[in-house]
């Protein structure tokens, strides 16, 4: 029999991880299946043939995207051409909203089924975008239960599949073993730095974190620091920033959840990593900084006053968010010290994060996605 061909499109580290996990589940459910497309290290390791490596394509902000526009346009044209040549049985677009919307529209025009995985944040801004997406897809798979209402209201096929992070956030070691593995002293404070998986995040936010770490260390020389390095970020990029600060920071690669679980508190960029940290029930301070014009435009468009996923899911601010000018070393170090010193405050955050984990359920997101894909493949 001719193998079933799936075409994946994932433009960022979180999407790369979600697509890889889904494909591995697909192989369990259907033996005669192959996949190709755009993605990163995780997808390649899962056995997906990459036409485009998306490791350097993740950007935040409208003006940052404009700078990358020629490259993004070339990549889109390349993927469109491959869709026409391969004629896959199914296109799976994973997150990377605006780029993947254009790819989905092209595929739909040419009679290729489209499954979109991870809805745009219509609950935050432009809810009528569901109509645009509805015309370009055959099914929207959402990862938060409250998102289905936006699509059912417009009669657009939608399925809640669960959040993939519930399954994927699994440390390799127990906490005690991880502390031993990383040579960390459990009797001294441990602070995590999660500077992100995009190059412009590293450039904009890692220096802020390192300066904050310097202030924290000046107050308490016993504090230990760990930095979880994303696979999409090169050693040279991290070393360039670390070389500017006389800090003893342990850089940990390939084991982000083990690194996070060792921490008493973390300073983190916004995005999926905040939810992953919440699932590990580690208190955090979220920092967010983009180009001033991007921020002003976003502030005008976005209908919610929070950027961190744990806060958005909870419907209230349970962990601190430092945005734009507030994302500075002094404020960040003050907030981290507060998490280390004020036990009642930290315990309340622990409790709130436990409730987030309960709200997201028992997992099965990747398996549910694979089942949905198989369902779409067999339907006419």
User: Is pLDDT above 70 for 172?
Assistant: yes
Domains annotated on the chain, with CATH: 4-162+364-378 (3.40.50.2000), 175-359 (3.40.50.2000)
Supply the pLDDT for residue 345: 96
Supply the pLDDT for residue 297: 64
Higher per-residue pLDDT: 224 or 365: 224
Which residues pair with residue 226 across a beta bridge? Answer: 192, 250
Report, as an integer, the average pLDDT of 341-369: 91
| Model confidence pLDDT, tens digit, residues 231-283 | 889 999 999 999 999 899 999 999 999 999 999 999 999 988 999 999 999 99
Look up residue 190 and give its two tokens.
């441990």
Averaged confidence pLDDT in the chain: 91
| Model confidence pLDDT, tens digit, residues 294-320 | 666 666 556 567 888 999 888 899 999
Supply the pLDDT for residue 299: 63
Give the pTM.
0.76
Supply the pLDDT for residue 19: 95
Supply the pLDDT for residue 304: 60
Give long-range contacts, CB 8 A cutoff, 24+ apart: 93-98.
Answer: 93/9, 93/117, 93/137, 94/8, 94/9, 94/10, 94/15, 94/16, 94/18, 94/19, 94/22, 94/118, 95/10, 95/11, 95/12, 95/14, 95/15, 95/18, 96/9, 96/10, 96/11, 96/12, 96/15, 98/65
Report, as an integer, the average pLDDT of 121-135: 84
Supply the pLDDT for residue 60: 56
Look up residue 118 and give its two tokens.
């991870």
Q: How far apart are CA 278 and CA 284, in angstroms?
A: 8
Supply the pLDDT for residue 221: 95
| Model confidence pLDDT, tens digit, residues 197-244 | 888 889 999 999 999 999 999 999 999 999 999 988 999 999 999 999
Helix, strand or coil for residue 312? helix
**Lowest-confidence segment of 52-61, 106-115, 122-131, 152-161 by average pLDDT:** 52-61
Look up residue 18 and give its two tokens.
């979600």
Sole residue written with tokens 């904050």: 212
Report, as an integer, the average pLDDT of 326-341: 96
The pLDDT confidence band at residue 12, using thresholds 50, 70 and 90, is: confident
């Amino acid at each position: 029999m001719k193998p079933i061909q799936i075409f994946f499109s994932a433009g960022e580290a979180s999407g790369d991880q979600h697509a890889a996990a889904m494909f591995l589940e697909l192989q369990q459910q259907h033996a005669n299946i192959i996949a190709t497309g755009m993605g990163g290290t995780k997808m390649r390791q899962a056995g997906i043939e990459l036409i485009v490596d998306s490791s350097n394509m993740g950007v935040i902000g409208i003006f940052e995207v404009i700078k990358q526009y020629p490259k993004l346009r070339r990549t889109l044209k390349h993927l469109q051409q491959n869709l026409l040549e391969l004629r896959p049985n199914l296109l799976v677009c994973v997150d990377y909203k605006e780029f993947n919307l254009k790819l989905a529209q092209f595929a739909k025009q040419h009679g290729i089924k489209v499954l979109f995985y991870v809805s745009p944040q219509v609950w935050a801004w432009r809810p009528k975008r569901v109509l645009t997406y509805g015309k370009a897809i055959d099914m929207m798979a959402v990862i938060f239960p409250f998102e289905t209402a936006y699509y059912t209201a417009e009669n657009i096929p939608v399925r809640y599949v669960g959040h993939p992070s519930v399954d994927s956030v699994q440390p390799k070691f127990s906490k005690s073993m991880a502390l031993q593995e990383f040579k960390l002293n459990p009797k001294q404070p441990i602070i995590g730095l999660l500077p992100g998986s995009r190059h412009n995040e590293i450039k904009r936010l890692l220096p802020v974190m390192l300066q904050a770490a310097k202030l924290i260390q000046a107050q308490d020389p016993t504090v230990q620091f760990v930095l979880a390095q994303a696979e999409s970020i090169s050693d040279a990029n991290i070393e360039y920033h670390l070389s500017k600060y006389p800090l003893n920071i342990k850089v940990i690669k390939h084991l982000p959840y083990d690194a996070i679980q060792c921490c008493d508190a973390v300073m983190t960029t916004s995005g999926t990593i905040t939810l992953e940290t919440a699932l590990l029930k580690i208190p955090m301070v979220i920092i967010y900084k983009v180009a001033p014009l991007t921020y002003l435009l976003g502030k005008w468009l976005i209908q919610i006053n929070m950027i961190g996923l744990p806060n958005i899911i909870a419907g209230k601010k349970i962990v601190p968010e430092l945005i734009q000018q507030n994302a500075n070393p002094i404020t960040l170090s003050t907030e981290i010290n507060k998490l280390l010193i004020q036990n009642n405050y930290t315990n309340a955050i622990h409790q709130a994060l436990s409730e987030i984990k309960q709200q997201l359920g028992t997992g099965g997101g990747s398996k549910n996605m694979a089942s949905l894909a198989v369902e779409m493949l067999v339907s006419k």
